[in-house]
Amino acid sequence: MSNIYMAGPWITEHEIKTVEKAMRDWYEKPYYYCETFQDEFAAYHGRAYGLMTPNCTTAIHLLLTALGIGPGDEVLVPECTWIASAAPITYLGATPVFCDIDPVSWCIDAESARRSITSRTKALIAVDLYGNMPDMAALQALCDEHGIFLVEDAAEAVGSTLKGVRAGKFGVGSVFSFHRTKTIVTGEGGMLLLDDKALFERCSILRDHGRRPGGPMYMNEEVTYKYMPFNIQAAIGYAQFQRIDELVGKKQWILAKYREHLCGVPDILLNPEPEGGVNGTWITALVFGKSHGLTKLAAMDRLIKLGLPARPFFYPLSSLDAYPGMREIYEPRNPVSYDVSARGINLPGALNLTEEQIVQVCDGIKAILA
């Protein structure tokens, strides 16, 4: 049987031909795919503006900068996410405040966020973890009540919807990742989506060394970042985006197959699929119920001994060495994050996964629980 991969893209002749075209048209259309991808990706998500970036981390950094986040400010983030959701807060000299997650969606819990708000809170970053969606209505209401910005980190949520609204349409701005492990892949790449024209203009200047698009040549207005995309990268992304239904469909198929082949296993949780919503399922995660008495590290160790790959559920950010001294403060405040994370693993989710391989993983899970 061929290798089982945790993550990886689905590249076809369409992507290869599109990249070839971008290279052949280099002189005539140096930014064609950047512009087309940005515009069509924004429109697909019901947003007015899109800005492609070198990766999603830079998209978050751009947006938080444009929102005026700086030293002394606090920004709420969920405990369980990739560090990229929070790192740009620190880049700007502001403080990340870690909030607990919901036990079912594994996304930021609105009540925990409410308890974390202080007079310094400027923004809340809601993360659509593994394609799951938080209670956006509650989060938006909370942000409105306290006059703080809602930012949606939809890095993992291409294809997800909540009550008919696509992930990426929530808050003042949203971000996506096209990292080589994601559903739409450009190797490295990201996108910032916005509705507000002034914010879009500000982010455009911040993205290109303080140059105003269309402004006089070499007249930089201020010292900012260089977070421009390039056309070859955008060509891959655009070609993948044209196949979005196929790519997301395969991710959903993977979740459905895991559900089918694990259906007899008691006391486990997989990504939820809320009524009226679609879970784009970047990754299928499995949380072992307490009755199994199994930690994620023990589970992964046993699976790896069977030759099966698995990865840990994200650790609570406050438990990482990157945030020294934070565990003591946050572990008692965020018990769900520490509990769920300790019992969760990610299952293989590469876009070349076959049903035979999924059955093999499920048989492995049944074997380690026997």
CB neighbours of 167 closer than 8 A, spacing ≥ 6?
A: 128, 131, 133, 152, 154, 157, 158, 159, 160, 161, 174, 280
Nearer to ligand PLP, 77 or 117 (CB): 77
Nearest-approach distance from CB 176 to ligand PLP, in angstroms: 8
Q: Which residue is nearest to ligand PLP (CB)?
A: 56
Q: Which of 56, 150, 310, 336 binds ligand PLP (CB under 6 A)?
A: 56
Query: From CA 131, how far away is CA 272, in angstroms rounded?
Result: 9
Nearer to ligand PLP, 7 or 308 (CB): 7
Contact between 161 and ligand PLP by CB under 6 A: the answer reads: no
Please check whether residue 170 is in contact with residue 138, taking contact to mean a CB–CB distance below 8 angstroms. Answer: no
284-303 residues in contact with ligand PLP (CB under 6 A) are none
Q: Among the candidate windows 13-21, 66-74, 76-84, 360-368, which touches ligand PLP by CB under 6 A?
A: 76-84
Residue 263 exposure: Cα atoms within 13 Å on the Cβ side: 6
108-127 residues in contact with ligand PLP (CB under 6 A) are 127
Query: From CA 116, how far away is CA 100, in angstroms rounded?
Result: 10
Query: From CA 316, how far away is CA 310, in angstroms rounded?
Result: 18
Contact between 155 and ligand PLP by CB under 6 A: the answer reads: yes
CB count within 10 Å of CB 298 equals: 13
- The residue annotated as part of the active site, out of 122, 169, 182, 296, is 182
Among residues 165, 167, 77, 173, which one has the least CA distance to residue 130? 167
Query: From CA 69, how far away is CA 187, in angstroms rounded?
Result: 29
Residue keyed to tokens 């002394």: 72
Q: Which of 99, 156, 261, 316 binds ligand PLP (CB under 6 A)?
A: 156
Q: Among the candidate windows 36-44, 50-58, 61-69, 111-119, which touches ligand PLP by CB under 6 A?
A: 50-58
Angle, to 10 degrees, between the axis of helix 13-24 and the axis of helix 231-241? 150
Nearer to ligand PLP, 18 or 55 (CB): 55
Contact between 81 and ligand PLP by CB under 6 A: the answer reads: yes
Q: Which of 73, 109, 153, 208 binds ligand PLP (CB under 6 A)?
A: 153
Task: Look up residue 5 and give its two tokens.
Answer: 């991969």
Query: From CA 193, how far away is CA 155, in angstroms rounded?
Result: 12
Q: Among the candidate windows 80-88, 100-108, 162-170, 356-364, which touches ligand PLP by CB under 6 A?
A: 80-88
Nearer to ligand PLP, 56 or 162 (CB): 56
CB count within 10 Å of CB 22 equals: 23
Q: Which of 57, 105, 279, 357 binds ligand PLP (CB under 6 A)?
A: 57
Q: Among the candidate windows 1-9, 55-63, 166-174, 353-361, which touches ligand PLP by CB under 6 A?
A: 55-63
Query: From CA 296, how far away is CA 281, in angstroms rounded?
Result: 20
Is residue 182 part of the annotated active site? The answer reads yes
CB count within 10 Å of CB 127 equals: 29
Among residues 164, 185, 240, 216, which one has the least CA distance to residue 55? 185
Query: From CA 262, how far away is CA 116, in angstroms rounded?
Result: 38
Query: From CA 369, how far away is CA 297, in angstroms rounded?
Result: 14
Collapsing DSSP to helix, strand or coil, 290 comes out as helix
Query: From CA 157, how far away is CA 130, in angstroms rounded?
Result: 7
| Binding pattern for the stretch 171-190 against ligand PLP, x by CB under 6 A and - elsewhere | ------x-x----------x
Q: Which of 33, 37, 49, 82 binds ligand PLP (CB under 6 A)?
A: 82
Q: Which of 18, 34, 38, 55 binds ligand PLP (CB under 6 A)?
A: 55
Task: Look up residue 146 and give its two tokens.
Answer: 């306290």
Give the binding-site size for ligand PLP (rule: CB under 6 A).
Answer: 14
Nearest-approach distance from CB 197 to ligand PLP, in angstroms: 25
Nearer to ligand PLP, 348 or 364 (CB): 348
Contact between 340 and ligand PLP by CB under 6 A: the answer reads: no
83-102 residues in contact with ligand PLP (CB under 6 A) are 84-85
Contact residues toward ligand PLP (CB under 6 A) are: 55-57, 81-82, 84-85, 127, 153, 155-156, 177, 179, 190
Residues belonging to the active site: 182
